[in-house]
Amino acid sequence: MYYMITGVHHVAFIVSSEDCIRFFEKLGFSVIFKKNRSYDTVILMEGYGIQIEAFIDPNHPAKGKIEPLGIRHIALKVDDVEKTIEELKLDVEPINSDWVGVRYCNITDPDGNVIELHE
């Protein structure tokens, strides 16, 4: 059998409120689909060739202090970390260098999900 992976289709998050949706809109993502269900609301967002699937569930247990198993973060490529931080007026952790010396910083959405801004 031959399988051909051609890219990442989407990243999914469970979030507590529309505050997280507004956060991703601030980062340049646009809502392309919304469906209200009896137990949550599903929102698809698109930007930069990436889709984000958000499940809004205010009753879902919060993320703990210790990182759970699973997806650790989503990394978004930026031209310049400082300019991006300044333009979006973001609170960030220190700017670091990755394993091969490329600069990045981490930001979090209102629920604490980590988004890495990576040059």
Q: What is the pLDDT of residues 52-111, one digit of tens each?
A: 999 999 988 877 776 665 677 888 989 899 899 988 888 887 899 998 899 999 998 998
Is there a domain that residue 65 lies in? no
The string of pLDDT tens digits covering residues 15-59 is 999 999 999 999 999 999 999 999 999 999 999 999 999 999 998
Is there a domain that residue 67 lies in? no
Is there a domain that residue 1 lies in? no
Number of structural domains the chain divides into = 1
Residue 6: pLDDT band by 50, 70, 90 thresholds? low
pLDDT of the residue at 3: 65
In sequence order, which ranges of the chain are alpha helices (DSSP H)?
18-26, 81-88
Is there a domain that residue 66 lies in? no
CATH number at residue 37: 3.10.180.10
| pTM attached to this predicted model | 0.79
Residue 28's domain comprises 10-59+72-118
> 79 to each of 31, 63, 72, 83, 100, how far by Cα in Å?
24, 30, 22, 8, 17
